[in-house]
Chain A
Amino acid sequence: MSTDTDVDYDVKDPTLSRFDLVKEGARRDGVEIVHYAPRFPKPGTRAERRVERTIALLFGLTGLLGLAFVVAYIWWPWEYQHGTGLDKFYNPVLGLTLGGSLACLGAAIVVWAKKLLPEEVSIQDRHDAPDLDERALTGATIMNMVDETGIKRRPLLKGALLVGAAPLGLAAAAPLVGGLIKKPGNILFETAWKPANGNLIKVTREDGSEVRPEDVSVGGQATVFPGVPHGATNQHADSPVLLIHLRQKDADALRANLKNVAVNSEDGGAMWGNYVAYSKICTHAGCPASLYEQQTNRLLCPCHQSQFQITDNARPVFGPATRRLPMLPLTVENGVFVAKSDFRVPIGPGFWERP
């Protein structure tokens, strides 16, 4: 800074040592070096040589491990083989050599800085007091800019600027937002189970095969999908269903409770015999509620631990879920399970428009 420059100081003065110049430079930068001493006042002592050897060793290790990394990278068998083999050690060897090399380099530099660089205490002035004169001058300059435009005394231009700029701003935002916007329509209300062209949708396994009542043993359950093209893929992520074959007394308990949820008892009931099917998509956050505890007939969602009591129409009995899992109305046609209709309420997590 020019304000710190001392005109009387002659940097060309031959009597000045280099460190004198360093101190003068620091002084002009507002820094005073108050303590500056070599770590080893007497050069070549045993202690100093020991530090030098340590640093040299660390640099040596850096090179050695770096070389080992390159060698391992090229020649270690790396391609995946089933079972056990040397390839399983490829990654650990790379990590050990690369990490070791970098760590040695870091340690060498840090030891050098801490043990060999001179001890130093420097004090720098913060110059943190605001310069009020400068502030006044800059403020005046800014205000003058506003005056120069004359926007204050030209209300027409003020209005015109607003009228002109606002639509242009909208025009800039429109393609960004507009391109993304997509109308939800009824995608949250319909699933692949909706009968298509008057045909009921078959209940299928992941491989597309039909499910017959005798396939699911008493007390057993199976994850099933709508029998439509790609029905078991993520194209129909809202459609997975858990089909449960309840034991007699559990089925009786559920049947007795069916009337608690009007839609489930419509049309002769949504159960078929002792079979019942529930949407697998948790009504809390959409994870598959898939841990079925057979003894208590509870279904647990592993994401946030909502628990649904199957024998009470999948009522949420614990956790953050607030709604029952929707029941898929089941029936049997030609010996295989089909869905009587789509779910009668929207499946999955809640949303604003959900009635």
Chain B
Amino acid sequence: MNYSNPFVAMLFRDLRIAFRQRAEIMLPVIFFVVVVSLFPLAISPDPAVLKSIGPGVIWIAALLSILLSLQSLFRSDFNDGSMEQILLSPFPGSLLMLARIVAQWCVTGLPLIIISPLLGLLLHLETHVIFVLFISLLLGIPYLNMVGAIAVALTIGLRQAGALLSLLVLPLYVPVLIFGSNAVISAANDLPYTGQLLWLAALLVLASTLSPFVISSALRVSCSYR
């Protein structure tokens, strides 16, 4: 069997669906920008203050945007019966789920990463700090997408999924939040930041090797329930 065909078919299907609901895919990015722009209003517009809280603010806002975008992941597939067909296809569920996550990252994670330098400017971060911010998000956000998808796969089909999802996901996001925001803070203080970025990369490798399998078996469990 040729494994690239279903992967590509799944990826393009999801991208096509996402781009036909433009309003929905813009939502996480808009949320990201709005949350970040609230902080100067709530705390202080003083550049010195913004510089010190900036990395943490951007990282938390990115994390919450991803959490927001997770709510709709798998939902329509689960409701319209596509998930059953996906699980009953002769291809490994992990492969198809990897395609699903890559598509999800393209439409929710990538825009956040692209727009983050702009938010760095808004919070008066310096250019080399913005560069580190960009790299840290580039390595960290796919991790958030993948680990989040595990929790979504476990809670899909439950009535109170939203609140439960945050409880399941947020503790698992802690390491990435710590390393990600700390890399940026270190860069701002002219301290070495390579270690933190390498940690993010290591976590990303771990998540991308394990999570597709976990997601597909979690979905199999969730779909066995009506």
Q: Do A and B bind each other?
A: no
